[in-house]
Amino acid sequence: MSLTETLSKRPLRALRLPRWLTGEAALMLALVLFVGVLSIAPLARLAWAALVPQGQFDASRIADILGGRRVVGATLNTIWISVAATCLATVAGTLAALLTTLTDMRARTLWVFGFVLPLMIPPQVTALAWVQAFSPSSPVLGALGLSLPPGTRHPLYSMGGIIFLLGLYNAPLVFLSVRASLQRLPASLVEAAHSNGAGRGAVIRDIILPLIRGGVFAGAALAFVSSIGNFGIQAMLGIPARVETLITMIYRRLNSYGPSALNDMALLALLLAVLTVIGMTLTAWLGRKGDQRVDSAHRAPRMTLGPWQWPVGLAAWGYLLVCLALPLSALFAAALVRGYGQPLNAETITFENFANALFHHKGIREAFVTSFWITCTTVAVLIPVAVALGYVLTWRRGWVAKLLRLASELAYALPGIIIGVAMILFFLRPLPFIGTGLYGTVWVILAAYFSNFLALALRPILGGYAQIDRALDEAAQLAGAGIFTRLRTIILPSVAPAATAAGILVFMTAINEIQTSVLLVSSRAQTIGPMIIFLEEAGSSTLAAAVGCLMVLLVLALMGLSLVFGRRLPEGVLPWRD
């Protein structure tokens, strides 16, 4: 039998399926269902509960809630904190990017690793570490005699403290974005300016900064979104300091009043969502018409620091010392003493906290196991979904693709706590057909993870798609391969590096996740992320510190592994690699 005969037979076989359900249509349907059930429906439910709680729109209720003195205060705090933190992060991140991409500073690779590291440490651990940094057991300040005497107000328990930590935490986001634009900057532009007689300062001011403006504002937008939605730092510092923000308000009211406060909290969550979108849009507008030139072949020439090598290096490493060594050493020291506030010395040192955290504390162990398996499940489900979704978003037009793109961008911007509230609302009532509700079970957390991390998984994968030639897929299509065969045999191998990187990122973020799960955990279902807050609230500071240390070690181990085994991963997808 000749091939032409086999080929002519194929359409017949394919015709047996209902025509509308073959290949692409089935894929689109599955994606729309996935995104619809896990993102759009809960968010729609949230908006519904916020605006029309008892089936009718009540403007005076909305005005009452939003006009309340405490809500207005929390809103203003939220805006001020996130704007100020964004400015701080933008300045620090841009300076760091200029320094590492444009100069010949020594040991850049190591410095970049250190600079990006805070981004990978869960924010609640960062906050805890900074709180410990001023305690008497802190090896740095304590040794210098600078630690606070008991009874004084902790300097970080303040508005300024929150802004400071959020700024430091988000500086790497700006750094990564600015560095990406700097690496696309054609060297010839800088050289042309030099040959016109411009000095270094003038080149940076007149050529480089205007050209990377888009990158700076894109980074600022990310920093804003991340600051406004950062539960870990806002809660760990803001609650003791009585600086209320929208996030902590939602969390505390839901904790004290339970589901009865849900509709009102949905309204606050909606307000938070609106603020986030406004902030992001505004930043994007400021950075509009950013230079889009793509020129990855040439790197901007490095300027020699010359006599400035030492002072600049000193300042750069000093920054890392303050941002990394100071809090982390305090965290480890706190985990190594028996009680909060004890100085660390040969007599007080103990491994009891670590032993408790690892072996004896049932709650922690169970929480870790839960976190681990739902994280693995999340990665296993989201990566294939993100590969398929990336395919549609990159290569398909039409309103379904547009809708999916909008939904995934929205999910990227909205703070996790909003997803948390939405998930509670969505799953509170018994499910149809099953009869029991999922609220309070681990399944809600899993659903929230799917919803929350899809956008995170999508980003690197979309980057991967941008680098492969669409004709590769079309050639396979002409060879007769259907969409699922192509995804498996052509697309997946081509985007595999990006998909791996996406998997690593999602794993590292989900394993210590706090923003969504803090509202969804219950006595039946605990995850490890919020554990630190609960332990700290219950007064077990040293145990909390030990858990924090273990999280940091886990993150470091994963980053190290990815560096060792990730040589084939594409450049720029793992943020901590220079």
Partner 1 sequence: MSDIRIDAISKSFGPTQVLKDVSLAIEAGEFVAVLGPSGCGKTTLLRCLAGFEQLDGGHIAIGGETVSAPRAHVPPERRGIGVVFQNYALWPHMSVAQNVAYGLKIAGIPRAERMKRVSRVLDLVALGPLANRRPADLSGGQRQRVALARCLAMESRVVLLDEPLANLDVHLRGALEEEFAAFHARSGATMFYITHDQAEALALADRVAVMNAGRILQFDRPEALFSQPASETVAGFIGEGRVLEAEDIRPLGNGRAAASLMGQTVELRCAPGERARGRAKISFHPGDLQLTETQGIAANVTRATYRGAYLRAEVMAGPGGHVPLSVNIAAPASLTRGQRITLALRDGWVIPDAAA
CB of 473 or CB of 513, closer to partner 1: 473
| Cα–Cα distance for residue pair 491/496, rounded to 1 Å | 8
User: Smaller CB distance to partner 1: residue 2 or 256?
Assistant: 2
Between 381 and 496, CB nearer to partner 1? 496
Backbone φ, ψ for residue 144 (5° rounding): -80, -5
Judged by beta carbon, residue 18 or residue 201, the one nearer partner 1 is 18
**Residue closer to partner 1 (CB basis): 431 or 472:** 472
For 92-104, b where at least 16 C-beta lie within 10 A, e where not — what string? Answer: bbbbbbbbbbbbe
Query: Looking at beta carbons only, is 127 or 476 nearer to partner 1?
Result: 476
Applying CB under 8 A, among 2, 56, 195, 436 the residue interacting with partner 1 is 2
Instruction: Identify which of residues 7 and 556 has a Cβ nearer to partner 1 in the complex.
Output: 7
**What is d(CA 149, CA 146) in angstroms, rounded to the nearest whole number?**
9
Quick one: 475 or 561, whose CB is closer to partner 1? 475
Residues in CB range of 367: below 8 A, 6 or more apart? 526, 527, 528, 531
Task: Using the structure block, give the residue that is written with the tokens 């403007």.
Answer: 59
Using the minimum distance from each CB to partner 1, give the nearer residue, 350 or 494: 494
Residue 189 vs 490, nearer CB to partner 1: 490
Q: Which stretch binds partner 1 (CB under 8 A): 7-15, 266-274, 344-352, 566-574?
A: 7-15
Tell me which of 4, 292, 345, 436 binds partner 1, using CB under 8 A.
4
Of 55, 151, 469, 568, which one interacts with partner 1 (CB under 8 A)?
Answer: 469
- Closer residue to partner 1 (CB): 22 or 348: 22
Query: Could you tell me which stretch among 160-168, 360-368, 443-451, 467-475 binds partner 1 (CB under 8 A)?
Result: 467-475
Selected binder of partner 1 within 158, 309, 350, 477 (CB under 8 A)? 477
CA distance 542 to 339: 6
Tell me if residue 432 falls in helix, strand or coil.
coil
Q: Which is nearer to partner 1, 63 or 475 (CB)?
A: 475
Stretch that binds partner 1, among 30-38, 214-222, 482-490, 508-516 (CB under 8 A): 482-490
CB 516 within 8 Å of CB 420: yes
CB of 479 to partner 1, least distance (A): 3
Pair 352, 452: CB distance under 8 Å: no
Residue 414 tokens read as: 């909205």
431 is a site residue for partner 1 (CB under 8 A): no
Q: In angstroms, what is the minimal distance from the CB of 570 to partner 1?
A: 13
Residue 550's nearest CA partner among 143, 110, 128, 131 is: 128
Q: How far is CA 268 from CA 61, 67, 151, 241, in A?
A: 12, 11, 35, 21
537: left (phi over 0), alpha (psi -120 to 50) or beta: alpha
Among 294, 478, 567, 568, binds partner 1 (CB under 8 A): 478
If the CB atoms of residues 12 and 294 are measured against partner 1, the closer one turns out to be 12
> What is the sign of the dihedral through the CA atoms of 27, 29, 34 and 40?
positive
Smallest distance from partner 1 to CB 492, Å: 10
Pick from 8, 260, 296, 304 the residue near partner 1 by CB under 8 A. Answer: 8
Is 430 one of the binding residues for partner 1 (CB under 8 A)?
Answer: no
CB of 469 to partner 1, least distance (A): 6
Q: Is the separation of the CB atoms in 268 and 250 below 8 Å? A: yes
Cα(501)–Cα(508) distance, rounded to whole angstroms? 11
Interaction residues for partner 1, span 274-303 (CB under 8 A): none
Min dist CB 20 to partner 1, Å, is 13
| Minimum gap (Å) between residue 184 Cβ and partner 1 | 22
Instruction: Give residues 12-41 in contact with partner 1 (rule: CB under 8 A).
Output: 14, 23-24
d(CA 578, CA 572): 8
Residues touching partner 1, count (CB under 8 A): 28
Question: Which residues contact residue 50 at a Cβ distance below 8 angstroms, ignoring those fewer than 6 apart?
Answer: 263, 266, 267, 269, 270
- Closest C-alpha to 383, from 470, 445, 464: 464
Least Cβ distance, residue 392 to partner 1 (angstroms): 15
With a CB cutoff of 8 Å and minimum separation 6, the contacts of 159 are: 77, 80, 81, 241, 243
Judged by CB under 8 A, the residue of 64, 104, 474, 537 near partner 1 is 474
The least CB distance from residue 568 to partner 1, in Å, is 12
Q: Which of 30, 146, 406, 472 binds partner 1 (CB under 8 A)?
A: 472
Q: Residue 207's beta-bridge partner residues?
A: none
Contacts of 192 by beta carbon, 8 Å cutoff, 6+ apart: none
Least Cβ distance, residue 461 to partner 1 (angstroms): 17
- Least Å from the CB of residue 448 to partner 1: 35
The structure tokens 């025509």 sit at 19
Letters for 488-527 (x = contact with partner 1 by CB under 8 A, - = none) are: -xx--xx---------------------------------
Which of residues 63, 475, 553, 557 is near partner 1 by CB under 8 A? 475
Structure-token match 């079309």, residue found: 474
Shortest Å, Cβ 491 to partner 1: 10
Task: Pick one of 186, 482, 566, 570: the residue that binds partner 1 (CB under 8 A).
Answer: 482
Closest contact distance (angstroms) between CB of 320 and partner 1 is: 39
In sequence order, the 6+-apart residues with CB closer than 8 A to the CB of 127 are 165, 232, 233, 236, 237
The alpha carbon of 120 is separated from its chain's Cα centroid by a whole number of angstroms, namely 9
Q: Which of 384, 485, 507, 566 binds partner 1 (CB under 8 A)?
A: 485
Report the candidate in 414, 406, 501, 503 with the shortest Cα–Cα distance to residue 451: 414
Per the DSSP assignment, residues forming a β-bridge with 303 are: 103
Residue 31, classed as helix, strand or coil, is helix
First to last CA, the chain: 56
The site for partner 1 (CB under 8 A) is made up of 2-4, 6-8, 10-11, 14, 23-24, 469, 471-472, 474-482, 485, 489-490, 493-494
